[in-house]
Each structure stands twice: as C-alpha cells, then as structure tokens.
C-alpha cells in the first residue's frame, strides 16, 4: 500500500513477467489507451503481457487494440491502469483481483490505494500522461501505436484539451506523441466527430423536451424510457445530451432528468461557476463535483421537476 516513484515503478515492471494489465469496467479512452500503451511497451522489452477488462471494448477503439498479439499465458503479475477503486474493475473482477494488484498506475486524487504499489500523479489530466512518463522511464521508444494510445487517453479525458484539468504538461505530452506519429485526425474524428444515427434520434427527442426557467438561467431536458426504444439509443448515449442544457447562452444551471423506472428518475446537474452542482444535488440526496453532479429521486415526473426547480431556485437566489 505504498506510493512509489516512476523509477521504482519501472524497476518493478522490469522484475515482472507474465503480466496481466487490468482496465476499469465500462472502459473509456484513458483506461484503454493506458492499458494498451503499457502492454506494447512491456512487449518491446521482452515481457509477456496482455490487457483485460470485465466489459466489452467498444468497437470505436479497435485502432488501439489492433495488431497486438494477445499471448495466452498464466498471469503472474497484475497491474491496474486508471482504476481509482478496486470496485471499478467490475463485480467479478473486483473479487477475483482483490489484494492481487502489484502496481496501480493512476491519476485520481480519490485513489483508495488498494494496490501493493501505487504510481499516482493527481495533477495529470489523464492516466495516459502517467503511463507516457513511465514508458519514457522504462527507456522504451514511443512508436506510432503507443503514441496513438497515449493521445487517445489524453484527448478523451480532457474533452480534446477543453476541460480545466488540461495543463501545460498535457500539451507538451500531446506535442511529443504527435512527433511520434499519433494520428490525431483519425482519433479525434472517432472520439468526437462521430454520432450514431440512434444518438441523433435520441438527441432530437430530448431537445423537444427542453424548457427554460428563471429568465433563462436554468434549462432542463427530459429523457423518458420510451425514447430509448423509439430512437434505438442506449443510456450510455445520454452523456453528451446531458451536457446540452448548460451550453445554452445565459444558462447557469443546466439539468437533465432521465427516467430509470416508472417512478424513479436520475437528475444530472451541470453548472457554471459560482453555482455549485454538488450542493444542488446534495440537497436532493446526491453529490458529485462543483460543476457536475447527480442524484436520484422517486416520484412522478411532475414531482421530480418540482423538487428540482425548487432546489435550483434556492441556489440561484443565494
């Protein structure tokens, strides 16, 4: 349960073989980019290594996984990437690998230190920044495939350098992997420019419900269960839609109400400073970050909207 340096982490990896690298469940660009970049680097220094994840890897990430030879071997050493809490490996995996992770490479300040050794840089925008530095410490040459992995993690975790977690160092690492051939045209098109037809249909249905309140300072949209059926979209498609209300000019508090069951709704709140999404959702039994938070409410849609608007109003008046 120790925090270790890049040098010590590189030393540990050099001592290991037959390494299983574990990504978190519902994998995103950062955990996959981290896992496959590290896997490629370990193979380059003669190790047997493969990547595993309890969820299926979305097809849009196929360029990250392709061309890598997934050796079969009995895993002896377990390394986690971008995993803040063992539970995030997914139910079965979390049980299977509890107390077995020798090294965890992460960037979450909230890391629970579940691994024997943790390489943590909480100032990094992405775990891929940490993995990039570790690969350099290992003395492995960053090739195009590794560069694509690292760029993917950095660009997805920063919303393509838009979010406030982006630092000067983020840009420096981006410049380095571009010099190594990262295909930013392809990656950014796949990550940010491609919307499925079912997503487009769901977005249109959701936009039809958009309403403004309190002189346009609050916007709310609603996603009901039947919209998934009508559009063919899944709940995982709603992330981008939940970002829309706050994007409207003049809106300080944006909210999305998603129906989970007939009488159960999830509310997502996004705010602009100084309005505190965590405080708003906290008042309704939830929590989160200052700019993005959530909660669950039971009742009819009217009840839920009523409670949301009362809470928003109290916060706007503060």
Residue 26, number of CB atoms within 10 A of its CB: 14
Beta partners for residue 254, in sequence order: 219, 270
The CA distance from 96 to 115, in Å, is 14
Write each residue from 54 to 93 as x if it is in contact with a copy of itself (CB under 8 A), else as -, in one continuous string: ----------------------------------------
Residue 300 sits in the site that holds a copy of itself (CB under 8 A): no
Within 159-198, the residues that bind a copy of itself by CB under 8 A are: 160-162, 164, 166-172, 174-176, 178-179, 184-185, 188-189, 192-197
Nearer to a copy of itself, 111 or 167 (CB): 167
Q: Which is nearer to a copy of itself, 135 or 206 (CB)?
A: 206
Site string for a copy of itself, 123-162 (x = CB under 8 A): --------------------------------x----xxx
Q: Which is nearer to a copy of itself, 73 or 161 (CB)?
A: 161
Provide the pairing of β-strand 264-271 with 218-223. unpaired
Q: Which is nearer to a copy of itself, 57 or 243 (CB)?
A: 243
State the nearest-atom distance from the C-beta of 199 to a copy of itself, in Å: 8
The span from the CA of 38 to the CA of 51, in Å, is 9
- If one asks whether residue 246 binds a copy of itself (CB under 8 A), the answer comes out as yes
Which of 155-162's residues contact partners 24+ apart within 8 Å by CB, and which partners? Answer: 155/29, 155/184, 155/187, 155/188, 155/191, 155/192, 156/28, 156/29, 156/30, 156/33, 156/126, 156/191, 157/28, 157/29, 157/30, 157/125, 157/126, 157/127, 157/128, 158/125, 158/126, 160/188, 160/191, 160/192
By CB under 8 A, name the one of 16, 44, 57, 212 that touches a copy of itself. Answer: 212
CB of 167 to a copy of itself, least distance (A): 7
Q: How far is residue 68's CA from residue 304's CA, in Å, rounded to a whole number?
A: 49
Cα end-to-end distance, the chain, whole Å: 43
Count interface residues toward a copy of itself (CB under 8 A): 41
Q: Which residue lies nearer to a copy of itself by CB, 186 or 263?
A: 186
Residues 268-297 that bind a copy of itself (CB under 8 A): 272
Q: Should residue 248 be labelled a site residue for a copy of itself when binding is judged by CB under 8 A?
A: yes
C-alpha 83: how far from its chain's center?
A: 10
Q: Which residues pair with 223 in a beta bridge?
A: 258
Neighbour-count burial for 137-149, b at 16+ CB within 10 Å, e otherwise: bbebebeebbbbb
> In this complex, which beta carbon is closest to a copy of itself, that of residue 143 or of residue 175?
175
Q: Which of 71, 88, 92 is nearest to 19 (CA)?
A: 71
Asked if 237 contacts 205 with a C-beta cutoff of 8 angstroms, the reply is no
Q: CB 142 → a copy of itself: shortest distance, Å?
A: 13
Question: Between residues 111 and 196, which has the closer beta carbon with respect to a copy of itself?
Answer: 196
- Residue closer to a copy of itself by CB (options 73, 192) is 192
Please report how close the Cβ of residue 191 comes to a copy of itself at its closest, in angstroms. Answer: 9
**Which parts of this chain interact with a copy of itself (CB under 8 A)?**
155, 160-162, 164, 166-172, 174-176, 178-179, 184-185, 188-189, 192-197, 200, 203-204, 207-208, 210, 212, 216, 246-250, 272
């Amino acid at each position: 349960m120790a925090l270790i340096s890049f040098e010590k982490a590189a030393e540990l990896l050099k001592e290991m073989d037959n390494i299983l690298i574990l990504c978190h469940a519902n994998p995103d660009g950062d955990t996959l980019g981290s896992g496959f970049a590290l896997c490629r680097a370990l193979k380059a220094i003669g190790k047997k290594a493969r990547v595993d994840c309890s969820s299926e890897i979305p097809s849009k990430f196929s360029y990250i996984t392709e061309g890598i030879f997934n050796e079969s071997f009995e895993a002896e050493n377990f390394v986690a990437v971008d995993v803040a809490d063992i539970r995030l490996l997914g139910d079965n995996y979390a049980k299977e690998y509890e107390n077995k992770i020798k090294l965890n490479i992460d960037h979450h300040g909230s890391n629970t230190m579940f691994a024997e050794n943790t390489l943590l840089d909480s100032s990094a925008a992405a775990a891929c920044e940490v993995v990039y530095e570790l690969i350099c410490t290992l003395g492995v040459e960053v090739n195009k495939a590794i560069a694509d992995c690292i760029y993917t993690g950095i660009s997805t975790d920063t919303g393509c350098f838009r979010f406030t977690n982006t630092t000067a160092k983020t840009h420096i690492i981006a410049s380095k992997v571009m010099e190594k051939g990262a295909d930013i045209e392809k990656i950014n098109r796949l990550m940010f420019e491609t919307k499925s037809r079912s997503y487009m249909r769901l977005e249109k249905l959701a936009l039809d419900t958009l309403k403004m309140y309190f002189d346009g300072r609050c916007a709310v949209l609603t996603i009901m269960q039947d919209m998934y059926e009508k559009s063919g979209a899944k709940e995982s498609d709603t992330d981008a839609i939940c970002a829309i209300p706050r994007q409207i000019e003049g809106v300080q508090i944006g909210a999305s109400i998603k129906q989970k069951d007939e009488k159960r709704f999830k509310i997502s709140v996004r705010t602009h400073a100084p309005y505190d999404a965590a405080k708003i959702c906290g008042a309704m039994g939830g929590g989160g970050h200052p700019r993005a938070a959530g909660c669950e409410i039971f009742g009819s849609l009217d009840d839920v909207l009523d409670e949301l608007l009362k809470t928003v109003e109290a916060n706007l008046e503060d």
